[in-house]
């Protein structure tokens, strides 16, 4: 099977990081292709960035609609609903997959993310994906997304924050709240002694599982293919006829 992993931002080095994490998790028969959108923001650190990442994500699905499944590799799960309308195979966001996985290996998890301003979005997603009380807190390290891979101290700070979160929230698992933290999961789990979930890996195996089960997004009502529509201006190429 072929899974298309879309990095919602346009930074190639981050696409490479995401691809490595997805490939490490995928099964032997699974081909993982990570892709950088042809338009959009260099990183996603606001609602503005998240909203403007969506056209590039949708473009990446339209341009290759024959994959067996899709992963959206930004923790805000941007464009997930629209992606489900377009894609023929199942689609998972990394927050979605990480939270479902965390719910199966513990009683309550904490999210450790980058910027404080994105905590609201993480809470909204938790309210949508898991039962009340399962996400017990969202904590920010206030390291910008693109510095995560270059700042040698970042991993240490993220792990220290996770340790604080476990204590403060009474949680028993950690969800890494940024695709840029994909490389931290193993070390963090070893140090903290609790499950630490990287959403990129989680979404890859979850989508792989859904494909194996023969499942794809329901086309009954809400997620049916979008109706024909004329688009104008900069976005006219998104016209559906």
In the bound state with a second copy, the residue whose beta carbon lies nearer, of 17 and 217, is: 217
Name the nearest CA neighbour of 80 among 97, 100, 104, 101. Answer: 97
In the bound state with a second copy, the residue whose beta carbon lies nearer, of 156 and 225, is: 225
Name the nearest CA neighbour of 183 among 33, 19, 29, 35. Answer: 19
In the bound state with a second copy, the residue whose beta carbon lies nearer, of 15 and 118, is: 118
Q: Residue 160 is encoded by which pair of tokens?
A: 């220290």
- Is the Cα torsion angle 194, 199, 200, 201 positive or negative in sign? positive
Nearest approach, Cβ of 150 to a second copy (angstroms)? Answer: 17
Could you tell me if 46 and 59 are in contact, meaning their C-beta atoms sit under 8 angstroms apart? no
- Tokens 């997959």 found at: 97
Nearest approach, Cβ of 238 to a second copy (angstroms)? Answer: 5
In the bound state with a second copy, the residue whose beta carbon lies nearer, of 156 and 240, is: 240
In the bound state with a second copy, the residue whose beta carbon lies nearer, of 55 and 180, is: 55
Nearest approach, Cβ of 232 to a second copy (angstroms)? Answer: 5
Nearest approach, Cβ of 10 to a second copy (angstroms)? Answer: 5
Name the nearest CA neighbour of 9 among 122, 145, 119, 106. Answer: 145
Nearest approach, Cβ of 177 to a second copy (angstroms)? Answer: 15
Q: How many CB atoms lie under 10 A from the CB of residue 110?
A: 27
């Amino acid at each position: 099977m072929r899974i298309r992993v879309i990095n919602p931002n346009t930074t190639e080095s981050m696409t490479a990081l995401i691809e490595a994490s997805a490939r490490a998790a995928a099964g032997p028969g699974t081909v993982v292709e990570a892709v950088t959108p042809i338009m959009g923001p260099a990183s996603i650190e606001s609602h503005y960035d998240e909203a403007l990442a969506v056209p590039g994500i949708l473009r990446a699905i339209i341009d290759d609609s024959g994959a067996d499944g899709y992963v959206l590799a930004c923790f805000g799960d941007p464009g997930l609903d629209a992606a489900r309308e377009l894609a023929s195979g199942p689609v998972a966001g990394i927050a979605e997959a990480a939270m479902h996985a965390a719910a199966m290996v513990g009683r309550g998890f904490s999210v450790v993310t980058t910027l404080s301003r994105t905590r609201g979005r993480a809470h909204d997603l938790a309210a949508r994906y898991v039962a009340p009380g399962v996400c017990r807190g969202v904590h920010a390290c206030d390291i910008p997304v693109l510095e995560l891979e270059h700042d040698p101290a970042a991993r240490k700070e993220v792990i220290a924050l996770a340790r604080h979160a476990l204590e403060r929230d009474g949680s028993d698992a950690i969800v890494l709240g940024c695709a840029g933290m994909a490389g931290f999961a193993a070390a963090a789990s070893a140090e903290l002694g609790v499950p630490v979930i990287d959403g990129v890996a989680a979404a890859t195996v979850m989508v792989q599982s859904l494909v194996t089960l023969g499942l794809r997004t329901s086309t009954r009502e809400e997620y049916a293919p979008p109706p024909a529509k004329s688009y104008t201006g900069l976005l006219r190429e998104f016209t559906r006829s």
